[in-house]
Amino acid sequence: MIELRTTCGWEVLVYKTLLCHYSKYYEAAIFGGFQEAKNDHFDLGLNKPCAEWFVKWLYSGKLIGPGADAGTVELFQLYIFADERDILALRRDVMTRLSGSDPDLPYHEIALPINALPSSSPLYKFIVAWHSNHWSPDESDSGKQDQAYEDLPKEFLHLVMRGLVLRPVSRPSCACCASPCGFHEHKSYDEWQQSEFVDLFL
């Protein structure tokens, strides 16, 4: 067993085999002699709701949200965590949850993932696709939105403008809503199987 912690004092013991199964980062940390492994704990860098969400996912293979108020911000935080810890299955599950929830992605919420992830990231591409297909000039932005707009990188805004210019007039089904599998990082069937949930205790 190994302990997972947050800065707010939350902690829980989980099986090392689970962490290693889903994450090459944790496998290298545990068996590669990182200082955290010697201390038998890892600091997740998540708030308590997202940490609980991650642990529930670890044991069930399902994203059982941290509460009624859980939304895109929590999903973004989980995705960034999964990207940093190399947890492919969790990234895919977050993308499935996002694409199936008819999300609203205002500037003040997307600033976090857009500034934290490379433009090659599936979540980054998903957000670009969403804004390219769902942005409307009739929507008025609040002061919070205006400020967040200033915080977005020029590369992202360029990609969205390019998508708007190329958007068909007839507005057929968009990739962000109609083709979520395109954001799941499927390389091959065997690779997909390796990231699927398995009950290691059967």
Instruction: With cut-offs at 50, 70 and 90, classify the pLDDT of residue 22.
Output: very high
Which residue ranges make up each domain of the chain?
A: 61-194
pLDDT for 202? 44
pLDDT tens digits along 37-49: 677 889 999 999 9
Higher-confidence residue of 181 and 12: namely 12
Please, are residues 184 and 122 in contact by the beta-carbon 8 Å criterion?
A: yes
Please, are residues 90 and 46 in contact by the beta-carbon 8 Å criterion?
A: no
Four-point Cα dihedral 160, 162, 168, 172, nearest 10? -40
Instruction: With cut-offs at 50, 70 and 90, classify the pLDDT of residue 7.
Output: confident
pLDDT for 196? 58
Instruction: With cut-offs at 50, 70 and 90, classify the pLDDT of residue 193.
Output: low
pLDDT for 10? 93
pLDDT for 139? 56
CA distances from 96 to 155, 177, 180, 184 (A): 25, 11, 7, 8
Higher-confidence residue of 142 and 5: namely 5
How far apart CA 180 and CA 57 sit, in angstroms, is 20
Q: Which two tokens stand for residue 5?
A: 């912690």
Q: What is the mean pLDDT of the chain?
A: 81
The torsion angles phi and psi of 46, rounded to 5 degrees, stand at -115, 160
- Is 165 exposed, middle or buried (CB count within 10 Å of its CB: 0-12, 13-18, 19+)? exposed
Which helix (H) or strand (E) is 38 found in, with range?
A: helix 35-38
Higher-confidence residue of 133 and 85: namely 85
Instruction: With cut-offs at 50, 70 and 90, classify the pLDDT of residue 144.
Output: low
DSSP code string of 150-176: HHS-HHHHHHHHHHHHH--TT----HH
Question: HSE of 48 in the Cβ direction (CA atoms, 13 Å)?
Answer: 5
Under DSSP, the state recorded for 2 is E
pLDDT for 104? 82
Q: Is the dihedral of CA 91, 80, 155, 131 positive or negative?
A: positive
The answer to whether the pTM exceeds 0.75 is yes
pLDDT tens digits along 66-84: 655 568 899 999 999 999 9
Mean pLDDT in residue range 7-22: 92
How far apart CA 71 and CA 65 sit, in angstroms, is 9
Higher-confidence residue of 100 and 32: namely 32
Instruction: With cut-offs at 50, 70 and 90, classify the pLDDT of residue 126.
Output: very high
Please, are residues 54 and 81 in contact by the beta-carbon 8 Å criterion?
A: yes
- Is 146 exposed, middle or buried (CB count within 10 Å of its CB: 0-12, 13-18, 19+)? exposed
